[in-house]
Each structure stands twice: as structure tokens, then as C-alpha cells.
Amino acid sequence: MKHTISVLVENRFGVLSRVAGLFSGRGFNIESLTVAETEDAAVSRMTIVTRGEDRIIEQINKQLNKLIDVIKVVDVTAEEHVERELLLVKLNAEEKNRAEILRMVEIFRGKIVDVSAKSYTVEISGGDRKIEAFIEMVRPLGMQEMARSGKIALPRATGAPAPKAKKPKSGG
């Protein structure tokens, strides 16, 4: 099963290699990994998306905790949380495609962030279902390049109203 693990680490030289090395050295899988500073410049947040049986996920959590520079590990999958990913995709913008692209961007609440004679670059943010759905929809139109940020996540504030049952867990 897919898990999103949020890791607060000391914002220090070499931390990324310790975390990445832990995953490669122990044969854990990484689907995506993002890292950047938090509100406290001395602390970075890594969001790691990984896959594995419960036993493996438990090991990943424990092994991460064991790293000296790791301050806190939360498997947000198990909790109410918000997660987002950013997609940038450069689409063929031939005459016949343009309307369709604009329509898709509208439906998915995206933005066109760069335009040239032959291409539109679109920005979409959301959970992975939304991102994947968008990619599915526009792929037939001709995709030149694409970049995904990898997922970031935060647990929901405690006391916030619980989301309605139907709302997809990944948000967006």
C-alpha cells in the first residue's frame, strides 16, 4: 500500500543523503521525495511517498526515527491530512487543440503559465488522482515535456471539521 510519510529533519548538510541512503541501503522504495525548509529555517520537511507491506512501512518509520538528524516522523496516510502535488506540463498547442486544452485547464482549475507559438505550459496542483486524471486527459493532445514536484503533505489541523465521507482522501 502507498504511504505518505512526513519527516521533519534538522536542516543540515548531508541530511538528504542520510535519508536517501537509508532507503536505497535497505531496499525500501521511494516513489517521490520532496524537501524544503519549514517555517523554522533550522528545520526541513521531507515528504516521502513509498509503498510496502505494513511490516516494511513500520521498519521505514522506525529506521527514519533512528537517524540522529530526524526530529519527527509522521505517517500521514493514517491520519486526516491534506496533500498536494504540482504538475507542469508542456502541451502541443496546435490550432485544433487549443480550445480543448483551455477547457481541460478550466475543468481542472489549472493555469496556463507559459505560451509559445507551438506550446502551452500548464500548471495543475492537486492530489495524485487529480494529477493523473489530467495527464490521462491531455496525453492524446500531445505532450512535449512534463515535470511533477512530488507530493507534499500536512496533517489536518486538529478540531477542524471532518471532511465529508465522499470527498477523496487525497484531497483536491
Residues that bind another protein (CB under 8 A): 9-10, 13-14, 17-18, 21, 25, 55, 58-59, 62-63, 65-66, 68-71
Retrieve residue 22's grid coordinates. 537509508
Q: Identify which of residues 14 and 140 has a Cβ nearer to another protein in the complex.
A: 14
Min separation Cβ 40 and another protein, Å: 11
Min separation Cβ 24 and another protein, Å: 9
Asked if residues 119 and 91 have their Cβ atoms less than 8 Å apart, the reply is yes
Min separation Cβ 111 and another protein, Å: 38
> Can you tell me which residue has the cell 541501503?
25
CA of 167: how far to CAs of 99, 113, 124, 154, 172, in Å?
Answer: 29, 28, 19, 17, 9
Q: Identify which of residues 60 and 124 has a Cβ nearer to another protein in the complex.
A: 60
Q: Identify which of residues 62 and 111 has a Cβ nearer to another protein in the complex.
A: 62
| Three-class SS state of 80 | coil
